[in-house]
Amino acid sequence: MENHQFQEALESLKNTKVRMTPQRHAILEFLFSAKQHPTADEIYKALESKFPNMSVATVYNNLRVFKEVGLVRELTYGDSSSRFDSNTSDHYHVICQDCGKIVDFHYPGLDEVETLAEHVTGFNVKNHRMEIYGTCPDCAKGQAH
Ligand SMILES: [Zn+2]
Ligand SMILES: [Zn+2]
């Protein structure tokens, strides 16, 4: 459960004004151990037995705090709820269209696309988002029989 990135996150929090609470510790630990890009709701469900007084809103507010200090990234998907990513380095996502699982995928950043987009449109381009969709191995197995 205790991994290197989680320890680093705890260390970097000490240098911010963010006060560590048992709830925050548990949310952060879940995020760093899950690797599944959970929603606030999923985190809430995983931790509600431990913290009966905690609400989904509390989880969400804590996630926003982590986001503000750069510990997590929020992935927004239009109408459905946001997912949270403890991996803040640049990476892409492969998303299963059957179960919604999001897996990290490392690929050199497509900087040329940004440069070209800037050149063609005159926009001041800040970032881009690329997602790859398909069926994950677990779901593919399930469909086989
Ligand atoms: Zn799947
Ligand atoms: Zn990710």
Taking only the tens place, the pLDDT of each residue in 16-51 is: 888 889 999 999 999 988 777 999 999 999 999 999
Q: Does 124 have pLDDT greater than 80?
A: yes
Q: Is 145 annotated as a binding residue?
A: no
Ligand nearest to the CA of 35: 2
What's the predicted TM-score (pTM) here?
Answer: 0.80
All domains of the chain, ordered by start, with CATH?
2-85 (1.10.10.10), 92-144 (3.30.1490.190)
Return the pLDDT at 79: 63
Tokens for 14? 């000490």
* Residues flanking ion ligand 1, Cβ below 5 Å: 96, 98-99, 101, 136, 139
Please write down the HEC assignment for all residues of 77-144: ECCEEEEEECCCCCCEEEEECCCCCEEEECCCCCHHHHHHHHHHHCCCCCCCCCEEEECCHHHHHHHH
Q: What is the DSSP letter of 52?
A: T
Cα 145 to middle of ligand 2, angstroms: 30
Q: Express each pLDDT in 56-100 by its tens digit.
A: 999 999 999 999 999 999 998 876 678 999 988 889 999 999 988
Q: How far apart are CA 138 and CA 45, in angstroms?
A: 23
What is the DSSP-derived secondary structure letter of residue 39? B
Q: Does 4 show up as a binding residue in the annotation? A: no
How close is the Cα of 30 to the center of ligand 2, in Å?
Answer: 15
- Please report which ligand is nearest the Cα atom of 104: 2
> 128 a known binding residue?
yes
